[in-house]
Each structure stands twice: as C-alpha cells, then as structure tokens.
C-alpha cells in the first residue's frame, strides 16, 4: 500500500507553496520538512525563493521530460518518497517541496534531490476502480543549468501559477491532462502524438457502438487501413491484437477502421466502418522542421514550436465532436480467416525455425520463403 493511515504534519502554506506539478487541480499540502531546513527565519525565506525560482523555470518550460516508470522507496508514516531508482542510479530525496492529491487519488510530488528537482507521480492503472494497481512515473526534471530569469528581470508568476504548471512540459507531459486510458497508451508507445489520439477516439467509438471491450475482444476483429501509431492505441484499448489474430493492418495510408464480430460460418455480417474525415492530423506544414529535427539541426525555438503544433493537434482531436472527426457507416463484411495453433519445423536450407503453413515444400524438405526465393 502506498497510502498509510497517518497523515503528515502540515506547515503553514505560503502562496507559492499552494501549487504543485502538472495536471491536478486539488487540495495541495506541503509535506513535513526536516527541521534542519527550517532552523531560522532566514532559511525559510531562502526556501521560499527556491520554490519561486523552480516555479519560474517550469513557467519558462525549463524542464526535461522523462516519463519513465521507476522504483520508489516510500515512507508510509510520513507519506513521502525517500528515494527512487532511475536508470541504474539511486536518487535520495533531500526534501519534498510540494505534493498534491486529486479526488481520484493520484499523488504527485515535487522533490529536491542531490541531482536536482524532479516531479514524481503515482498513476493508477484503472481509474474506474476504487482499488487499482498503480505505478510510479518520473515525469520530468527541472533544469538547473538555465537561469530562471534574465538579468534585472523580476520573477513574475502567472495569475494562476497552477495553470502555468498545467501547461508544462509540452508533449509527453500533457499526459496528465488527457484521459488516463490514452495516458497508458502513450506510456506504452513512448510519446503522445496526433495519430495516437486518432486511434484512441476510433477505439472509443467502437466500444460505445458495439460494446467492444478487452473482456470480450475475442469475439471481435479490427481491420485498419494504415500502419501508423493509431493502431497501437486500437490494439491496447480494444484488446484486439495482431498476436491474438484478431487485428489486421493493411497500409493503404488511410485512417479507416472496420470493427466486426466473428461468425462460425464466416458468412458476411454487419460491421462498423469508421473513417477520419478531418485534416486535423495533418502536420505537413511542419515538414521542414521535421527534417531539421531528424538531422539534429533544429533550434530550441523550432523544437518548441513543433511540439506546440503537436499538442494543439492532439487537443483538437480529443475535443472535436465525433461527427466532425469521423464518418460512421454500417457495412456487410466477411470476417477474416484465423489460423489455429501453428506447427513448426526447421528450414532445410538455413536451419531456422518456421511455421509449417508458411513454408515452401520442396524435394529436399521444407524451406522458408526467404531461402525459397533465393533459390529461384
């Protein structure tokens, strides 16, 4: 259990201390701080200035996105992380700066370590269950190699500093602001992009229209006319996967998806066709920047603007009414043929294991398709 019965001792909250990391509008609490940090009024002022500088850096997007699962040493008595393991190295928490707890039970900590300030979040796997497995996600690190303000400039936080924090960092960090299911998909995929959001929306249409779910996915099949990031969202959310032989992808370059039920006689049955009709996914106007990014020549300003364009597209995809995003039709479609358990043998030429049904039979035995092609 991550949450114990004892509540942490609360200190008096300053204005700057009433805001915490990305994505949670909630009751905010300053965790118990070691008395060594608060042994004088001067030290209290210094800590407050540090927090203001950290918030200013976050406001200026001076953060490094991480979003990786980590192991955490947690103190149930004080309700605070004591340290975490990241990329083979242990990070000891010197002081918890801020923590929030959302109505859904998600905890998010802003932590000071010997290696800098990190944002650590406890994410539940299922938001629809009162009790659910959870995992610790290291979301980002506040950069310490950039000044929080220009010379002579006064640190000015937004009218609502929490709103500033909600918007940062861009891209992957927006996971805290999107549905939890899509957040899990992005964690698996590695980043959040427009195509992933399209797959999420298409999967939600199928789930609502057909009652498709991971529990009854074995009764359904999905056909996709592309090989984009969208198909990863569809597989993870519907439970229809390539490995389970009920997800089929043909790269025709179109965001068109078919959802249907299997039948024992393989006769044509009604299926749902969902087709993207809105160009919101198109970022061709950013192709020049993409080439620079791939070549490692993009400037920080260009990277920021490109990420903002992606964020804007994702936000629009998630908020557009269904009828403005897709066209939906019911068609008659014959369910695809699914192979049973595979038998294996070795290729008589290269000796590598292959499925018998995919092999080429010859005078000297069975050959894999690669070796058979070479012999032609």
Cα–Cα–Cα angle for 362, 365, 367, rounded to 5 degrees = 70
198 and 279 share a domain?
yes
Query: Which residues form the domain of 197?
Result: 181-333
What stretches of the chain adopt beta strand conformation (E)?
27-29, 63-75, 80-86, 89-101, 107-113, 116-124, 134-142, 220-224, 247-249, 256-261, 269-276, 326-333, 344-346, 353-355, 360-362, 365-367
**Is residue 174, in this structure, part of any structural domain at all?**
no
202 and 303 share a domain?
yes
**Is residue 255, in this structure, part of any structural domain at all?**
yes
236 and 266 share a domain?
yes
Q: What does the alpha-carbon distance between residue 206 and residue 260 come to, in Å, rounded to a whole number?
A: 9
252 and 128 share a domain?
no
208 and 300 share a domain?
yes
227 and 323 share a domain?
yes
Q: Each residue's pLDDT tens digit in the chain (376 positions)?
A: 444 444 444 334 333 333 333 333 333 323 333 333 334 333 433 444 467 788 777 767 778 888 888 999 998 877 789 999 999 999 999 988 877 665 455 678 889 898 889 989 888 776 666 567 888 989 888 887 544 444 344 334 333 333 333 333 333 334 345 676 787 788 788 888 999 999 999 999 999 999 999 999 999 999 999 999 999 999 999 999 999 999 999 999 999 999 999 988 889 999 999 999 999 998 888 778 888 877 878 788 888 888 888 888 998 999 899 999 999 999 999 999 887 777 999 999 999 999 998 999 988 899 999 999 987 7
How many domains is the chain partitioned into structurally?
Answer: 3
350 and 298 share a domain?
no
Give the residue from 100, 127, 158 where a domain finishes: 158
**Is residue 349, in this structure, part of any structural domain at all?**
yes
**Is residue 77, in this structure, part of any structural domain at all?**
yes
190 and 247 share a domain?
yes
pTM of the model: 0.56
**Is residue 167, in this structure, part of any structural domain at all?**
no
25 and 151 share a domain?
yes
348 and 329 share a domain?
no
CATH of the domain at 210: 3.30.1330.130
209 and 109 share a domain?
no
């Amino acid at each position: 259990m991550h949450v114990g019965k004892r509540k942490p001792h609360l200190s008096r909250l300053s204005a700057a201390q009433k805001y915490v990391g990305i994505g949670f509008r909630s009751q905010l609490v300053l965790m118990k701080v070691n008395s060594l940090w608060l042994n004088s009024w001067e030290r209290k002022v210094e800590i407050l200035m540090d927090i203001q500088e950290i918030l200013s850096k976050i406001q200026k997007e001076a953060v490094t996105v991480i979003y990786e699962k980590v192991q955490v040493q947690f103190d149930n008595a004080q309700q605070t992380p004591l340290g975490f393991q990241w990329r083979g190295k242990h990070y000891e928490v010197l002081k918890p700066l801020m923590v929030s707890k959302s109505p859904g039970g998600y905890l998010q900590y802003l932590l000071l370590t010997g290696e800098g300030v990190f944002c650590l979040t406890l994410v539940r796997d299922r938001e629809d269950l009162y009790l659910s497995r959870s995992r610790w996600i290291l979301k980002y690190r506040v950069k310490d190699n950039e000044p929080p303000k220009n010379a002579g400039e006064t640190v000015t936080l937004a009218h609502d500093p929490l709103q500033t924090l909600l918007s940062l960092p861009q891209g992957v960090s927006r996971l805290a602001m999107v549905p939890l299911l899509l957040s899990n998909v992005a964690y698996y995929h590695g980043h959040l992009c427009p195509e992933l959001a399209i797959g999420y929306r298409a999967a939600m249409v199928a789930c609502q229209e057909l009652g498709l779910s991971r529990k009854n996915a074995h009764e359904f099949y999905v056909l996709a006319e592309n090989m984009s990031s969208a198909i990863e969202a569809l597989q993870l959310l519907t439970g229809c996967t390539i490995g389970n032989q009920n997800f089929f992808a043909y790269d025709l370059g179109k965001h068109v998806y078919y959802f249907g039920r299997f039948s024992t006689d393989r006769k044509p049955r009604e299926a749902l066709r969902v087709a993207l009709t809105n160009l919101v996914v198109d970022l061709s106007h950013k192709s020049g920047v993409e080439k620079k990014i791939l070549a490692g020549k993009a400037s920080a300003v260009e990277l920021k603007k490109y990420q903002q364009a992606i964020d804007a597209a994702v936000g629009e995809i998630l908020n557009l009414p269904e009828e403005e995003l897709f066209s939906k039709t019911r068609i008659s479609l014959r369910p695809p043929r699914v192979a049973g358990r595979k038998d294996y043998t070795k290729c008589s030429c290269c000796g590598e294991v292959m499925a018998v049904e995919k092999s080429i039979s010859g005078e000297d035995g069975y050959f894999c398709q690669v070796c058979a092609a070479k012999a032609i």
